[in-house]
Amino acid sequence: MNTSRSAIERELIAVLSETARIDAASVTPQSDLAQLGIDSLKIVELIFDIEDRYGITVDYNANDGAVESVGALVDLVVGLIAAKSEAGALLSGA
């Protein structure tokens, strides 16, 4: 699995566009999730998909407003994957 930022961004845009039933070409990192039609229920479904896809745990609180854009979601996922990778390296003694 490619975990580069650009690969993750492409994957998340594809998932978001499918979820919102819109053209992926119209989704950018600056796109607002609510304006894309991603409501709180869809966000929860998306979080479950992200957790399964990347093997991470997303501590998501819909009321904190931290994940309002596609770019913020990508940043969150990239950060969690990096943290998981670092933790794994520490545990393996690398």
Q: What is the pLDDT of residues 55-92, one digit of tens each?
A: 999 987 755 767 889 999 999 999 999 998 887 666 66
Reported as a pLDDT band with limits 50, 70 and 90, residue 20 is: confident
Q: Give all domains of the chain, ordered by start, each with its CATH number.
A: 5-92 (1.10.1200.10)
Q: Could you report the per-residue pLDDT of 30-49, keeping only the tens digit for each?
A: 999 999 989 888 888 889 99
In this prediction the pTM is: 0.84
Reported as a pLDDT band with limits 50, 70 and 90, residue 10 is: very high
DSSP output for 19-56: HHTS-GGG--TT-BTTTTT--HHHHHHHHHHHHHHHT-
